A and B are shown apart, each in its own frame.
Chain A
Amino acid sequence: METLRTLYMGISSGIDQPGGNVNMDIVWQIRLPRAILGGMAGAALAVSGTALQGLFRNPLVSSGMLGVSAGAGFGAALGIVFFKSALMIYVLAFAFGLAAVFFSYTIGRIYNSAPAIMLVLGGVIVSSIFSALLSLVKYLANPYEELPSIVFWLMGSLASASYRDIAISSIPIIAGITGLFIMRWRINVLSMGEREASSMGINVNIDRIIVVFCATLATAGAVSVCGIIGWIGLVVPHMGRIIAGSDNRILIPASISLGASFLIIVDNIGRAVTGTEIPLSIITAIIGGPFFVYLLKKYKGGNW
């Protein structure tokens, strides 16, 4: 209630009056950007996972499948060790996230038609290479300052959320989500398999690049600002499928809102449960895992 009144005060009298009111600063400068960023990141991870699961016809695929997370982790570690500026960490994480998927795709094209299984294999190869490179950077990093920063970054956090973070990450996230939203009917058809989708007039190679690119853009945008938040891109699509069904015309929007709500709730729990903040990926896994088991049991696997 107090929060709502403060939000209203901010809207009615303008928010550019720092120092005026402690509540107002907390709500407008700390909590609200954190919630917005969390919502965007959660939506991006969940919708990318949904789209890639549909594209690869595989319920075990997640948003990090093609190496985005591993690439971004390595990029962020480089940024932390060599530049120490927040902006460079974003830029490097984002760039290496995209680069990792590009490498996966190139490996997948060893066969000239890039069948889905080759892409997944490419993702596995590229992920493990970037994980190795990340370990190398960690090994060489200063163990008192840089190493803890890298480790905390990798566990994911919204603690430093600011309007600048939102501005930076909103461009790729919104572009990626919009693209996937437009493609949602075609993802249905793509999930029929390559040959059948092609016989229904889908240019499989082009549409697959579009879906992979949009999913990568959204995921990289989220990961480069919030760190690596596991599990959402895998589990939220399944929650969506159990609640909304498999039709991507409904499932894609459902994943967007479920992912956003899920991450905001998880972040609140992480902030409130103990005196210190618990990193996000710890909570997403601890809460998400049992909740997923509960859903699977209740809906008997949703006809899988």
Chain B
Amino acid sequence: MNHVIEIKNGSFSYNDDPVFEEISFALGRGEILCLFGPNGCGKTTLLDNILGYHKLKSGSILIHGEDISTLGKSEIARRISYVPQVHDKSFPFKVIDIVVMGRTPHIGSMSSPSSEDYNIAEEAIKAVGIEHLKNRIYTTLSGGETQLVILARALAQDTSVIIMDEPASHLDFRHELILLELIAELVKTKKISVLMSTHSPNHAFYFENAGVPAKIALMHNRNIMASGLPGEIISEKNMERIFSITSKVFKNNLPGENLSFIMPLKTIKR
């Protein structure tokens, strides 16, 4: 398979504090990779490196086979867009003006978005299903609505990869599902690749259940402990090793309905 993103033996440290060491993995076209691991294990820092916000201390990151260190900021931004955990709102912009900011890497450094860019932004708003919010002031939106606006902005950026940092961690039950459905839809129909960090292994199960090509990578002790299909990797044994908890995986193999999920049960005193 053609790799959209490939990281080879990547290491990073803040000053002399290593965050991750000798990490390697790859993300294919039209595939979701969930990055899963305890708080502070370096998921966000790893994503920052792939976004070009930090630079690896050693190793390399390839985007469509090109080394990221040879690409400029807007060249990276034309290939990868980003949805943060929570968008920190600043000034009372209109929703459409937020979404059109996604066009920034496609327009000249001294110019403003054209009507063509606005058309693309409107399509992105439609794809996310928030036409009714188009002219609203975004500082008045709820957290769930805001996250959809930011996803529309990432779509307007028109990249082959979207990186999401725990995108659903602050969303209510319904908005979490809306977001997961949208991601599954984008990956299936537009063959976009998604790299997302998450604290819920059930997100990976959700994509597997929905029949979307999904993988999960477990990050532990500054490295990737295991990676592969969610059904193989999310196991009671692995959860115990990483989190010191007991848990139970439920599998439902009815014909035409393949459902899995995991339930945490009890912490193990260390």
Interface residues, chain A, with chain B CB atoms under 8 Å away: 54, 57, 182, 184-186, 188-189, 191-193, 195-196, 198-203, 241, 245-247, 249, 302-304
- Size range of the interface on B? 35 or more
The residue from B94, B105, B113 contacting A201, defined by CB atoms under 8 A apart:
B105
Q: How far, in angstroms, from A241 to B90 measured CA to CA in the complex?
A: 13
A192-B101, A198-B52, A200-B102 as given contacts; A54 in contact with B91, CB under 8 Å = yes
Q: How far, in angstroms, from A304 to B140 measured CA to CA in the complex?
A: 9
Please indicate the chain A residues that have their CB under 8 angstroms from the CB of B74 in the complex: 201
Please indicate the chain A residues that have their CB under 8 angstroms from the CB of B91 in the complex: 54, 57, 191, 241, 246
Q: A-B pairs with the 9 shortest C-beta distances?
A: A201-B77, A201-B105, A201-B74, A199-B82, A246-B91, A303-B92, A57-B90, A185-B112, A200-B104
Residue contact A193 to B77, C-beta cutoff 8 Å: no
B4-23 at interface with A (beta carbon < 8 Å): none
28 examples of A-B residue contacts, CB within 8 angstroms: A54-B90, A57-B91, A185-B111, A189-B101, A191-B91, A192-B98, A192-B101, A195-B51, A195-B53, A196-B87, A199-B51, A199-B53, A199-B81, A200-B77, A200-B82, A200-B102, A200-B104, A201-B73, A201-B74, A201-B75, A201-B76, A202-B104, A203-B73, A246-B92, A247-B93, A302-B92, A303-B137, A304-B139
B39-86 at interface with A (beta carbon < 8 Å): 48, 51-53, 72-78, 80-82, 84
Interface residues, chain B, with chain A CB atoms under 8 Å away: 48, 51-53, 72-78, 80-82, 84, 87-88, 90-94, 97-98, 101-102, 104-105, 109-113, 137, 139-140, 157, 163
Residue from the set A199, A202, A245 with the largest chain B CB neighbour count within 10 Å = A199
Q: How far, in angstroms, from A241 to B91 measured CA to CA in the complex?
A: 9
Residue contact B84 to A195, C-beta cutoff 8 Å: yes
CB distance from B151 to the nearest CB of A (A): 13
Q: How far, in angstroms, from A42 to B236 measured CA to CA in the complex?
A: 67
The residue from A193, A203, A241 contacting B88, defined by CB atoms under 8 A apart:
A193
Residue contact A199 to B77, C-beta cutoff 8 Å: yes
Q: How far, in angstroms, from A120 to B147 measured CA to CA in the complex?
A: 29
Residue contact A304 to B92, C-beta cutoff 8 Å: yes
Query: Which of chain B's residues has its CB closest to A206's CB?
Result: B73
Query: Which of chain B's residues has its CB closest to A247's CB?
Result: B97
Query: Which of chain A's residues has its CB closest to B98's CB?
Result: A192
Extra contacts, 10 of them, besides A195-B48, A196-B82, A203-B73 (Cβ < 8 A), are: A57-B88, A185-B113, A188-B97, A191-B91, A198-B73, A199-B163, A200-B77, A200-B82, A245-B94, A302-B92
Please indicate the chain A residues that have their CB under 8 angstroms from the CB of B77 in the complex: 199-201
Residue contact B90 to A191, C-beta cutoff 8 Å: yes
Q: How far, in angstroms, from A196 to B154 measured CA to CA in the complex?
A: 10
